């Protein structure tokens, strides 16, 4: 318990045993080979850790060399380059013969370092539940006491149909929408043009799928993540896609598959700077008032708005946005 007069941190004051909503970087960059993973880690260190890296077993591992690839990822996870411990891994899907071996190699070898594990292409919630159970069992045998966050790709008819059940499963932190496989699963009913903007947002089936994914994620306290932009070097298109995904559909995270896409995604997903300033002012005043109701600029604020602004300020922090010195000291300085 805090001493009388000691400022209470918002995590203690605003949630009272309730699990806070995840606050993680708004950009997730995929890299499959050792060369590309190395470059991604170097770029992450250069930018100060404002994006996650997903080391890819599914598309990255050469056929027949799945174990070697997983062991390479373990080495990269434990390397000195992985300074920020903000790197996860995508394993093979439920139908692939090697997915359990992926889990054993990765969790036993780098369970303490893995930021998350991404599960691709499930067709039912039961598949995801089984895969999570295996991950939990391997983690327990390895002596891990932490929960490893699970990210799940919603890219099949079955996954979309059971998206709420998937979002409610233990350890799930993110629902990723997978555009390409979702379109291919419609057997030509959705045109190839919808793999890019504006079709990827305007086509009715895709708008429905994205909206349902976001709604399920947010209803269960999970982050919704948007698919990639295929136009690799057009940074404006990446920014525009990320902005539309954020403002029109409610996505809070987006994939990158090319280094030039990272900063536009971070910029587009970042909270509005004026809101950040207002949020810091309100939170500081609320903390001084022991988190009771306050007035700010003529408006009444209470715990509901405090929670909104606390999540916003945390997202600003992980996006690399500079906060006021007073807010940094009050909310992000380890005592």
Class of domain 27-269: alpha beta
Look up the pTM and report it.
Answer: 0.92
- Burial of 117 by CB count in 10 Å (0-12 exposed, 13-18 middle, 19+ buried)? buried
State the pLDDT at residue 1. 42
Q: Report CA-CA distances (Å) from 151 to 25, 121, 174, 192, 283.
A: 14, 11, 5, 27, 31
Strand partners, 177: 154
> What distance in Å separates the CA atoms of residue 164 and residue 167, rounded to the nearest whole number?
5
CA distance 125 to 131: 10
Low-confidence ranges of the chain (pLDDT < 70): 1-5, 334-335
pLDDT at 9: 92
The rounded distance, in Å, linking the Cα atoms of 236 and 251 is 18
3-state helix vs strand vs coil in the chain, percent to 5: 50, 15, 40
Helices (H), the chain: 10-13, 34-47, 66-77, 99-110, 125-141, 157-161, 163-167, 179-184, 199-202, 204-219, 235-249, 262-269, 273-288, 303-318, 325-327
What residues does each domain of the chain span?
27-269, 272-332
What pLDDT is stored for residue 16 in this prediction? 77
Query: Is 301 in contact with 279 (CB distance < 8 Å)?
Result: no
Distance (Å, rounded) from C-alpha 61 to C-alpha 83?
24
Quick one: pLDDT at residue 146?
A: 93
């Amino acid at each position: 318990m805090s001493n009388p007069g000691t400022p209470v941190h918002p995590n203690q004051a605003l949630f009272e045993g309730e699990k806070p909503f995840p606050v993680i970087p708004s950009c997730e960059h995929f890299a499959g080979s050792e060369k590309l993973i190395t470059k991604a880690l170097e770029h992450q260190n250069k930018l100060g850790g404002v994006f996650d890296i997903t080391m890819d077993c599914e598309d990255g591992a050469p056929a027949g060399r799945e174990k070697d690839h997983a062991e390479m990822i373990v080495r990269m996870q434990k390397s000195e380059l992985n300074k920020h411990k903000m790197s996860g891994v995508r394993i093979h899907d439920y139908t692939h013969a090697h997915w359990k071996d992926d889990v054993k190699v990765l969790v036993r070898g780098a369970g303490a370092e893995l930021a998350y594990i991404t599960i691709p292409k499930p067709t039912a919630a039961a598949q995801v539940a089984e895969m999570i159970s295996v991950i939990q069992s391997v983690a327990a045998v390895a002596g891990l006491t932490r929960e490893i966050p699970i990210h799940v790709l919603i890219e099949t008819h079955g996954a979309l149909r059971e998206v709420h059940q998937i979002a409610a499963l233990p350890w799930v932190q993110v629902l990723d929408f997978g555009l390409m496989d979702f379109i291919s699963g419609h057997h030509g009913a959705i045109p190839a043009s919808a793999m890019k903007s504006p079709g990827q947002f305007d086509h009715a089936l895709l708008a429905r799928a994205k909206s349902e994914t976001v709604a399920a994620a947010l209803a269960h306290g999970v982050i919704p993540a948007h698919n990639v932009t295929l136009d690799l070097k057009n940074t404006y298109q990446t920014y525009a896609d990320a902005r539309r995904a954020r403002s029109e559909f409610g996505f809070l995270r987006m994939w990158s598959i090319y280094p030039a896409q990272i900063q536009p995604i971070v910029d587009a997903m970042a909270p509005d700077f004026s809101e950040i300033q207002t949020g810091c002012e309100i939170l500081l005043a609320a903390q001084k008032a022991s988190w009771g109701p306050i007035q700010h600029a003529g408006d009444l604020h209470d715990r509901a708005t405090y929670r909104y602004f606390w999540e916003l300020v945390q997202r600003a922090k992980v996006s690399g946005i500079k906060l006021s010195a007073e807010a940094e000291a009050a909310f992000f300085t380890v005592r």
